[in-house]
Amino acid sequence: MKKTILVVDDSVHIRMLLEAMLQHKYKVYTAEDGLSALMWLAAGNTPDIIITDIQMPRLDGWELISNLNSNLLFNDIPVMVLTGISLHDVNFVHPNVVHVINKPFDPRDLIEKIGFQLNRELPMAANG
């Protein structure tokens, strides 16, 4: 079964690019801002990972992450921040932020980080 990724970005070009890059291996859903993402989650959807921008209208990435952190249903979903602004030590403030990637980004690096994050939760095979 394919893992699910929620991409949250106000740029239609970024959403389309990430969907095209990832749809062969993952189920990809998109939202144009944090509010749309929260509505998608409230409808009973739970992604395996969220990739979000920070600067967005209506509800920005920080507000989205804060909402995720305060909700027991969503506070264990790993979040990757994909942003055009410079950020440092974000994971110390937001424990579910697993990576901060600056735009422009290397698609291979992003795919590798997503794969690592999604596969690290799988149980290790027993030897012997």
What mean pLDDT, rounded, does the chain reach? 88
Q: Please enumerate in sequence order all residues whose Cβ is within 8 A of that of 12, keeping only pairs 6 or more positions apart, or say none.
A: 32
pLDDT value at residue 34 = 96
Q: Please enumerate in sequence order all residues whose Cβ is within 8 A of that of 56, keeping only pairs 6 or more positions apart, or say none.
A: 8, 9, 10, 32, 33, 34
124 has a pLDDT exceeding 90: no
Window from 40-49, 50-59, 99-108 with minimum mean pLDDT: 99-108
Query: How many helices (H) and strands (E) in the chain?
Result: 5, 5
pLDDT value at residue 28 = 98
Convert the pLDDT of each residue in 80-111 to its tens digit: 999 887 766 454 466 788 888 888 899 999 99
Cα radius of gyration rounded to whole Å, the chain: 14
- Residues in the chain, total: 128
* Cis preceding linkage at 95, omega within 30: no
Say if residues 82 and 114 touch (Cβ distance below 8 Å): no
120 has a pLDDT exceeding 90: no
Q: How is residue 74 written in tokens?
A: 């969503």
128 has a pLDDT exceeding 70: no
Convert the pLDDT of each residue in 6-33 to its tens digit: 999 999 999 999 999 999 999 999 999 9
